[in-house]
Amino acid sequence: MSVSPPAHPKTIPGNRRQSQRPARDNRPRPLPMTRQEMAERGWEELDVLLIGGDAYVDHPSFGIALIGRVLEAEGCRVGVITQPDWRDPASVARLGRPRLFCGVTAGNLDSMLANYTVARRKRRKDDYSEGGRPGRRPNYACVVYTQLVRRAFPGLPVLLGGIEASLRRVAHYDYWQDRIRASILADAKADLLVYGMGERAVREVLRRAIARDFDWNGIPGTARLLKARETEAADFANAVELPSVADCRQDPVELLHLTKAVEAEQNPWCGRRLVQMHGNRALVLEPPARPLSTPELDQLYALPFSRRPHPLYTEPIPAWAMIRDSITAVRGCSGGCTFCGLGLHQGRFITSRSRQSVLAEIESLADSADFRGTVSDVGGPTANLYGCRNGTTPACRRCRRPSCLHPRICPHFEIDERSAIELLGAARRVPGVRHVFINSGIRLDVILRTPHLLRALVRHHVSGHLKVAPEHLHPNVLRRMRKSSARDFHLFRERFEAESRAAGKEQYLVPYFISNFPGCTDREMDAVGEFLRSQGWRLQQVQDFIPLPMTPAAAMYYAGRDYDTERPIPVARGLAERRRQMRILGRKFRERGPRNAR
């Protein structure tokens, strides 16, 4: 992908000239959400309409803003409607019918995860909504919003994108309904699904839509559901056939086979086309799009984001408050943790932004009137992978491993601590910046190989408490999670405490554990509980396991089988079983009395 500054609107045939009226302040204007904003730009119609399940925050951490600015940079007139009334098609029609297509996303979270707890109860708060109010997005938002668009704008091409679409692109286990669901394309009846981060795919979609070429075949990073006659005529000789929806419903082990096949084809350099039958129709998944290069990622983050919620909102949006002073420095995650959807969405190949790009964003942040001197985070899915490299050798480009770090770090995975140290050091010296903290995840097996980065982290970038995620301490559970050994956590803790003492600082670790993971019984949970008891630690964070669609952990949960061996494993399913493991952790730390983890 190559992202350039916004082109003249006449680069898209049919565009009317934009108004040159300046913005009211020095900040870039957000994309329009009202007819009045369209009129201020001199627009009578949109080229592309984006509909999303989150409140609109014009910040690169929010997917709808990122894709909107990419399309704008191509000369598009882009409008945004978020959290429309899903009972009324008129709620998606208030900006008029767009000329080219409509993009639909559930938001930064799967809508079922946003709406329901692990106990399948409605959440009391939605961090991605104005005022944190729940109930602003429907269940299976991609499906509902697409149906609204179909009713409001018959015949208009509709694209699905975002993490809900990514993780539901094939048949998958849905925890909240406790059943196998077909690809979200089958329910939504959209024309195309864009999985992954989407910048390359959406630009190709735009190119074809401008040319009125609505054959969506062959776009990397997309999926289509063919009609019955198209399926009969199609040639799938070079494709990998996945277990069908019917297969997975009939035999739970087939979901393991499906998940393994999808993981094996996630390498964009050697991944093959996938086909899955949905009755007499074929779901076709093209190979993943290639990750952006460093210059392309730099250009992406140089687009004119206002970094603020749209002015229409009068109440705070909690998710924006959490990330407003944070910086994304790296994209992609090489860990391949079985419970996490990030690898399936962002990919396992890492791209780091240049130091100049990150510092330019920090300088811009420091110049804003409401900045208080603290950069809350410089990271990404895993902060200490900044500067590391994979996907650069011929061996990497043939590799089908789901993880570069498990069961051991691949010799082709290049660890670079100097880039991160220099970046963080330069960030601390930006005028107006007093603190630069790290609050993204830390990969323990990598940080133990970078002692100088660990020292810099402890001395300069911990706010007093550092969150770490060993996830568990029992070897069998850690293997199924694809996490590093408990020994890595204990060794990291020793080095963290030693470096803190040497720096004359009183700093604490805040460990994060998962209960009720597939294969984890009371006995395995006791490995965590006994450790907490011996240390007198009070847990501040425990995540009860939630099977996210399309992840290996969800396949293990549904099938009751180990992912690697396919042997039966125990699975805690009912609330009574789940609560017992939570109580184990509570009992263990109460035996010694409450203390903060340190």
Q: Give SS3 for 80.
A: strand
Place of tokens 């989150």: 54
Q: Give SS3 for 447.
A: helix
The pair of structure tokens assigned to 266 is 């996630």
Closest CA to 365 of 439, 319, 434, 462: 434
pLDDT in tens, 399-411: 999 999 999 999 9
Contact 432, 373 (CB under 8 A): yes
pLDDT in tens, 446-476: 999 999 999 999 999 999 999 899 999 999 9
The pair of structure tokens assigned to 89 is 């098609």
Q: What is the 3-state secondary structure (H, E, C) of 443-458?
A: CHHHHCCCHHHHHHHH
Per-residue confidence (pLDDT) for residue 586, from 0 to 100: 64
How far is the CA of 246 from the CAs of 3, 126, 251, 284, in angstroms? 42, 35, 9, 16
pLDDT in tens, 42-82: 999 999 999 999 999 999 999 999 999 999 999 999 999 99
pLDDT in tens, 280-294: 999 999 999 999 999
Report d(CA 259, CA 482) in Å as an integer.
15
When pLDDT is cut at 50, 70 and 90, the band that residue 540 belongs to is low
Contact 258, 248 (CB under 8 A): yes
φ, ψ of residue 274 to 5 degrees: the values are -110, 145
Conformational region of residue 163, where left means phi above 0, alpha means psi within -120 to 50, and beta covers everything else: alpha
Neighbours of 392 (CB within 10 A): 12
Cα dihedral across residues 315, 318, 322, 324: positive or negative? negative
> Which domains, from first to last, does the chain contain?
9-23+30-285 (no CATH), 325-453 (3.30.750.210), 464-598 (3.30.750.200)
Report d(CA 31, CA 80) in Å as an integer.
7
pLDDT in tens, 125-183: 999 999 999 999 999 999 999 999 999 999 999 999 999 999 999 999 999 999 999 99
Q: Give SS3 for 407.
A: coil
Report d(CA 207, CA 147) in Å as an integer.
25
Q: Is the peptide bond before 407 cis (omega within 30 degrees of 0)?
A: yes
Strand 78-82's sheet: what is its strand order? 78-82, 48-52, 101-105, 158-161, 192-194, 222-225, 281-285, 274-278, 240-241
